[in-house]
Structure 1
Amino acid sequence: MRRLESEMAILLRRIKCVIGEHARGVHPELQPAAYLILVWLTEHGPARATSIVENLDFDKGAVSRLLAHLADLGLIVRGPDPADGRATLISAGDTAAQQVADAAAGLRRRLDHKLGDWPDESLADFVDALGLYNRTLGTMQP
């Protein structure tokens, strides 16, 4: 378990660096947590702030602040929810969505370059094990 903790700590530091790099690639002032919201919006389309809170498991106040940050940077679009005129739908702006897609493509290229020598079976086994790990932890109670 100690080895797992050590390897996960390294992985988390790497992920934190990648998220920060991608956030700066979209906008030099973009906060990494706001970048995660932007990614989610590009993947799931327009959504209410409550959906962001529920799906990303972020604090409601934090989401509100991060959405204000994204709006200040001109990276999101707000519009009325056709299902409920009192509610607001938030979506990634077109330019921001393209920048997020470019960042993801760049990451895939870097991973392909770094992991290109791995046998397909080893990579598939790693992905399967990581998926099992994430599903298992996703069902854990705090």
Structure 2
Amino acid sequence: MTRAESLRHLEQEVGVMIRRVRRVVGVRAQLVHEDLQPASYLMLGYVAEHGPLRASSMAEIFATDKGAISRQVQHLVDLGLVARVPDPDDRRASLVSATDEAVSRLEEVARHRRKWLGEQLGDWTDARLDEFASELAAYNEALSRS
């Protein structure tokens, strides 16, 4: 296979992966809360892992405008999945953090996801799984430089 053919094949497979990820994110969002939007699910997961965060930081991290972040944060507040608290370093600003309920629901979804993934990749050796994860990380790193 030529390099051009390999790159085309890579693009096709990444496209398949993106479509599957979009579908799965929608399902996972529903498992956390029936009214949770997929984009807000991704933000919630990030806040749960890295929070508390300012909305301005999330705008940078997600490369989106502050208005979109504000709407998503409000959506999450309305669902009881995040809380806003005053920033101790600047009382004019607030920090967003995941509620205990959100963290619990996200952990349950993650346990289910890992169990399912383990079953789907059950015939993969540990070495193959490690190699794939390393190659995927290298791919993501290479693309992050552009």
Match of 1:18 among 24, 27, 47: 24
1:27-46 to structure 2, matched below 5 A, reads: 27-46=33-52
> Residue in 2 aligned with 1:86?
92
Match of 2:82 among 66, 72, 76: 76
Q: Which runs of 4+ in 1 moved over 3 A?
A: none
Q: Distance in 1 between matches of 2:31 and 2:138?
A: 31
Note the residue ranges of structure 1 that are not aligned, 5 or more in a row: none
Question: Larger Cα Rg: Structure 1 or Structure 2?
Answer: 2
- Any idea what the Cα deviations from partners look like across 1:1-42, whole Å, max 9, x if unmatched? 111111001101111111111100111111000011100011
- Any idea what the Cα deviations from partners look like across 1:70-125, whole Å, max 9, x if unmatched? 11212111111111111101111110111111111111111111112101111111
Q: Distance in 1 between matches of 2:145 and 2:56?
A: 21
1:120 aligns with 2:122: no
Q: Distance in 1 between matches of 2:108 and 2:42?
A: 15
> Residue in 2 aligned with 1:47?
53
Q: Aligned with 2:52: secondary structure?
A: coil
Q: Distance in 1 between matches of 2:65 and 2:129?
A: 35
CA-atom RMSD, angstroms? 1.0
Q: Aligned with 1:29: secondary structure?
A: coil
Q: Distance in 2 between matches of 1:113 and 1:38?
A: 26
Over the matched positions of the two proteins, sequence identity in percent amounts to: 46
1:135 aligns with 2:133: no
Note the residue ranges of structure 2 that are not aligned, 5 or more in a row: 1-6
Q: Aligned with 1:78: secondary structure?
A: strand
Which amino acid letter does the alignment assign opposite residue 5 of structure 1? Answer: E
Match of 1:6 among 7, 12, 21: 12
Query: TM-score by structure 2 length?
Result: 0.91
Q: Aligned with 2:86: secondary structure?
A: strand
